[in-house]
Amino acid sequence: MPTRRALLCGGAASVLAGAVAGSGAAQAAARPIPFGSAAEIGAFREDARYREALKRYCDVIVPMNDLKWQALRHDRPRFDFAGADEIVAFAIANGKALRGHTLLWGEALPPWAKGITTRAEAERELVNHIEIVVDRYKGRIATWDVVNEVIKYEPEPGAPYRDTIWQRLLGPEHIEIAFRTAARVDPKARLVLNDFLFEEATPAGAARRKVALDTFRRLRDKGIPVHGLGIQAHLYGEKDLDLDGLQHFLRDLDALGLDLEITELDVIDWKLPADPARRDKLAAARVSGFLEAVVAAKPPRAIVTWGLTDRYSWVQDVFPRGDGARARPLPLDADYRPKPMMAVLERIRRGTAAGK
Ligand code: XIL
């Protein structure tokens, strides 16, 4: 991608800051949508080719696991910033923007946090955690996934949120506490609600979209700052997408004055045919159909994949194929060669016809 850096003149951060305020593919063509990836600390430390790929392809970097409670808070009294600091320093040294993932999640909690039993303790710990983490990276991490996966998998009337320790002890207010605290500590940060399965053609997909919009309205009515939605976009290769429903949702989001990022894009290919070339083509087509619909309704401020190379991906662990073949969810293959998905990303980022 020799021309990318030239086009991005001014650096990733300024592109991100000024990205795509209006709508339509024409605007996206004028200024490429920033692209990025989550960086996994083990691969980052051990594999020089991985670091080179992050440098070469990414405008935005997300520490994949190192800002989660499990990594930062394994020892209750002492914060362990080692992994996060390494990735943040690398990103800044290489002119990349950063997304912070994540301040509140029901998963990746250390055992002591799962043992919190009272409302007062939950609020105290949550507020203290957000204050310390956001303050440390103030001015360096421009965007935070303040809450992650708070929407119930299949929301029901009166029960929109996922059953986590935060929801159990604090109720729906856990979301408000998190956003309010992050905004207080870093008033310049962009604060995002990050969640998944907004694209699924099921009643749950539609219900999840409604819960997101209701949550944004509630936050707005209470004067709590929130700037955007992160759509994870772990796209199942074998499932139908509800692109009309998704576009409608994105227009509603736009009407609320919120912006959008694609935050964890990959293709879960466990049910796709075994042949690698065919699988890659199908995965690229899935990404293309999804992103085209997204960009036509509301161009995202960034497109971030959850990893960069098939050499390392959570899909391999969580969605293993029945035939034992390696998962191929990402834009680079296990030998760092760009796959058809990379051409699709380039085309869509630039609003051009290449890579069709
Ligand atoms: C995953 C990481 O990729 C794995 O390395 C880790 O073992 C578990 O978490 N949704 C999210 C991400 O918001 O934080 C998850 O990341 C993938 C699903």
In contact, 200 and 155? CB cutoff 8 Å? no
Question: Does the annotation count 149 as an active-site position?
Answer: yes
What average pLDDT does this structure show over 344-356?
81
Question: Does the annotation count 173 as an active-site position?
Answer: no
Contacts of 6 (CB under 8 A, 6+ apart): none
Residue length of the chain: 356
Res. 49 pLDDT band, cuts 50 70 90? very high
Angle among Cα 218, 221, 226 to the nearest 5 degrees reads 70
Nearest of 32, 12, 15 to residue 355 by alpha carbon: 32
Atom of ligand 1 nearest to the CA of 38: 3
Q: What is the largest CA-CA distance in the chain?
A: 56
Res. 12 pLDDT band, cuts 50 70 90? very low
Query: Nearest 10 degrees: CA dihedral of 102, 233, 208, 20?
Result: 80
pLDDT digits (tens, 9 = 90+) for 181-237: 999 999 999 999 999 999 999 999 999 999 999 999 999 999 999 999 999 999 999
64 ligand 1 Cβ < 6 A = yes
Q: Provide the pLDDT for residue 220.
A: 98
Contacts of 82 (CB under 8 A, 6+ apart): none
314 ligand 1 Cβ < 6 A = yes
Q: Is the pLDDT of residue 161 over 60?
A: yes
Nearest of 190, 132, 195 to residue 164 by alpha carbon: 195
Cα torsion 197, 202, 207, 210: sign:
positive
Atom of ligand 1 nearest to the CA of 307: 3
Q: Provide the pLDDT for residue 73.
A: 98
Q: Is the pLDDT of residue 21 over 80?
A: no
The residue type of 98 is L
What are residue 304's DSSP bridge partners? 36
DSSP result, 168-222: HHHTTHHHHHHHHHHHHH-TTSEEEEEE--SSBSSHHHHHHHHHHHHHHHHHHHT
Q: Provide the pLDDT for residue 82.
A: 98
> The pTM is what?
0.92
What are residue 291's DSSP bridge partners? none
Q: What is the DSSP letter of 309?
A: B
Angle between helices 276-297 and 243-255 (to 10 degrees): 40
Q: Provide the pLDDT for residue 350.
A: 95
Alpha-carbon gap, residue 62 to 97, rounded angstroms: 9
In contact, 216 and 160? CB cutoff 8 Å? no
Q: Provide the pLDDT for residue 16.
A: 39
Q: What is the CA radius of gyration of the chain?
A: 19
Q: Is the pLDDT of residue 25 over 80?
A: no
148 ligand 1 Cβ < 6 A = yes
Atom of ligand 1 nearest to the CA of 148: 13
Nearest-CA residue for atom 1 of ligand 1: 314
Q: Is the pLDDT of residue 37 over 90?
A: yes
Name the residue of 70, 306, 318 whose CB sits within 8 Å of the most ligand 1 atoms, as the mutation to test its pocket: 306
Res. 50 pLDDT band, cuts 50 70 90? very high
Residue 331 buriedness (CB in 10 A; 0-12 / 13-18 / 19+): buried
Active-site option among 149, 176, 199, 261: 149
What average pLDDT does this structure show over 273-296?
98
Alpha-carbon gap, residue 174 to 312, rounded angstroms: 33
What are residue 156's DSSP bridge partners? 159
Res. 353 pLDDT band, cuts 50 70 90? low
Q: Is the pLDDT of residue 3 over 90?
A: no
pLDDT digits (tens, 9 = 90+) for 73-102: 999 999 999 999 999 999 999 999 999 999
Cα(108) to centroid(ligand 1), Å = 9
Q: Where are the beta strands (DSSP E) in the chain?
A: 35-39, 60-63, 97-104, 143-148, 151-156, 159-161, 190-195, 228-231, 234-236, 259-268, 303-305
In contact, 237 and 286? CB cutoff 8 Å? yes
pLDDT digits (tens, 9 = 90+) for 229-277: 999 999 999 999 999 999 999 999 999 999 999 999 999 999 999 999 9
pLDDT digits (tens, 9 = 90+) for 101-155: 999 999 999 999 999 999 999 999 999 999 999 999 999 999 999 999 999 999 9
Alpha-carbon gap, residue 319 to 317, rounded angstroms: 6
Give the side-chain half-sphere CA count within 13 A for 283. 32
Res. 27 pLDDT band, cuts 50 70 90? very low
Q: Provide the pLDDT for residue 352.
A: 80
Atom of ligand 1 nearest to the CA of 196: 10
